Amino acid sequence: MAIREFFHATKVVSGAGSVSMTGEEAVRLGAKKALIITDSFLASSPICGKVTGSLKEAGIPYIIYDKVRPNPRTTDCDETCELAKAEQVDLLIGLGGGSSMDQAKTTAALVTNGGKCVEWDYVEIPHKMLPTICIPTTAGTGSEVTFCAVITDEEKKYKMTVMDLYNLRPDVAIADPELLLSLPPSLTASTGVDALTHAIEAYTCKVSQPITDALALHAISLIGKYLVTAVENGGDLEARTGMLNASLMAGAAFINSNVGAVHAISETIGAWYDTPHGVANSIFLPYIMEYNIPACPDRFARIAVQLGIDPAGKTTEELAYAAVEYVKELNRKVKIPRLKELEYIKEENFDAIAQRSAENPLSDDNAREIGKEGYLEALQKAYRA
Ligand SMILES: NC(=O)c1ccc[n+]([C@@H]2O[C@H](COP(=O)([O-])OP(=O)(O)OC[C@H]3O[C@@H](n4cnc5c(N)ncnc54)[C@H](O)[C@@H]3O)[C@@H](O)[C@H]2O)c1
Ligand SMILES: [Fe+2]
């Protein structure tokens, strides 16, 4: 095996009620004033109240920015950087899904490194970001433990990646499943399949390694066990806990391995049409899996077993294809929209979508070599589904 590196430097505080530790963690990080980055829904919900309550108890002053939008823009991050500097905050708290956490991480890096957000696409970040606590309220992106943030450059219609192994990692992740009890079924479903996509791509892509394999495989089994329950019965704390742990592990896996073609195509669609990240991934996951099987059938067979498929009497190939059928059925069960239902994505644009996805560097580590033709095949199959 080639030489690989594995990084994990975020303290994870987890379990029901762990959000009450926010204040204590802020004190430990030496904070004098915090900026909470979240969206308007969460800001006015009891979820944000739990965070602010804990900060108050610890005597940490805070301000709230509540304008995060799904697929945050570079200009949004510039705005929160200016706010953080003007208010002289020394702690960022990203509260929400990947969008809030990514905007908080990027803001924390912009404050200490300067410049505009657009200047930081895949550029080494020289100075450590401001201390940051991430508090996920979806079980999907794993952004609370990843060293990257995905931000949309609206001018270029492109999802850029702010990334650094040393200087863009959250100091603390607080993974409290009680914060997910209010997440509606459609968001639980699409973010949950995003986590599954992270785990499957981390496990099958060219740069996987034993440590990321272990995390990804366990994440897959947790998602197989709990995603449907979390969607159908959002108040099931055990299922929410399982999904939150799975998304965190899948995040730690893919950030040290990689994601592949599913993310390449969903980044294109997210940037061009503002499609939610989880929805775009869910739609293409089964078709890219199918395309990738010839590169590593044994790995896809193992994925099937982790998902709970009985291997008895099945060949490796049959098991591998059973994993694809499982994901198609899962998408139906949790009501992921079909590509045709996203009427704003027209068939005449498939060629351009395929071309742009093939140019995405994520294509390079995909399990099987993939170019424009491979993406077109996935688009056509998803469209006919
Ligand atoms: N940095 C990373 O490692 C990484 C990995 C994957 C994806 N991403 C990025 O993350 C973003 C997507 O994040 P996401 O899928 O978590 O969704 P999101 O953060 O965009 O949130 C989607 C919606 O969910 C709502 N919501 C969140 N928590 C809720 C709760 N508990 N109850 C009710 N509503 C709730 C929000 O208000 C929002 O409207 C994309 O921009 C994507 O590119 C980042
Ligand atoms: Fe993702």
Write the DSSP assignment of 163-183 as a string of letters.
E-TTTS--SEEEE-GGGGTT-
Could you say which ligand is closest to the alpha carbon of residue 148?
A: 1
Which atom of ligand 1 is found nearest the CA of 42?
Answer: 37
Residue 5 within any structural domain of the chain = no
User: Residues 199, 163: one domain?
Assistant: no
Query: Does the Cβ of 140 fall within 6 Å of ligand 1?
Result: yes
Q: Which of 157, 180, 203 is the last residue of a domain?
A: 180
Q: Is 122 left (phi over 0), alpha (psi -120 to 50) or beta?
A: left
The answer as to whether 41 is a domain residue is yes
Q: From the CB of 131, is ligand 1 less than 6 Å away?
A: no
Measured CA to CA, the distance from residue 180 to residue 312 in angstroms comes to 36
As given in the structure block, the two tokens for residue 34 are 């915090």
Mean pLDDT over 170-190 rounds to: 98
- Same domain flag for 303 and 173: no
In 3D, which of 14, 11, 7 has the Cα closest to residue 242? 14
Please give the average per-residue pLDDT across 287-315, as a whole number.
Answer: 98
Helices first, then strands: H and E counts in the chain: 14, 8
| Shared-domain flag, residues 132 and 191 | no
Contacts of 121 (CB under 8 A, 6+ apart): 153, 160, 161, 162
Residue 241, ligand 1, Cβ within 6 A: no
Q: Are residues 238 and 294 both part of a single domain?
A: yes
Tell me which residue range forms the domain holding 259: 185-384
**Encoded tokens for 304:** 């099937």
The CA 144 to ligand 1 mean position distance, Å, reads 11
- Within-domain flag for 1: no
Structure confidence by residue, pLDDT tens digits, 206-242:
999 999 999 999 999 999 999 999 999 999 999 999 9
162-184 burial code (b ≥16 CB/10 A, e <16): bbbeebbbbbbbbbbbbbbeebe
Three-class SS state of 369 = coil
In this structure, the answer to whether residues 62 and 113 fall within a common structural domain is yes
Could you tell me if 289 and 216 lie in one domain?
yes
With 70 as the cut, is the pLDDT of residue 383 above it?
yes
Q: What is the pLDDT of residues 50-61, one digit of tens each?
A: 999 999 999 999
Residues 223, 370 within the same domain: yes
365 lines ligand 1 (CB under 6 A): no
Judge if 170 and 190 occupy the same domain: no
Residue 189 shares a structural domain with residue 174 = no
CATH number at 198 reads 1.20.1090.10
The reply to whether ligand 1 has any atom less than 6 angstroms from the CB of 152 is no
Rounded distance from Cα 2 to ligand 1 centre (Å): 34
CA separation for the pair 260, 181 (Å, rounded): 30
Confidence band for 353, pLDDT divided at 50, 70 and 90: very high
| 228 CA from centroid of ligand 1 (Å) | 19
6: in domain: no
pLDDT band at 1 (very low <50, low <70, confident <90, very high): low
- Please tell me whether residues 80 and 228 are part of one structural domain: no
Q: How far, in Å, is the centroid of ligand 1 from the Cα of 295?
A: 31
Provide the number of structural domains found in the chain: 2
Backbone CA torsion sign across 245, 203, 2, 161: negative
Given this model, what pLDDT does residue 2 score?
87
**Dihedral pair phi/psi, residue 37, rounded to 5°:** -105, 120
- Residue 290 falls inside a structural domain: yes
Mutate to test the pocket of ligand 1, among 102, 243, 255, 267 (most ligand atoms within 8 A of CB): 102
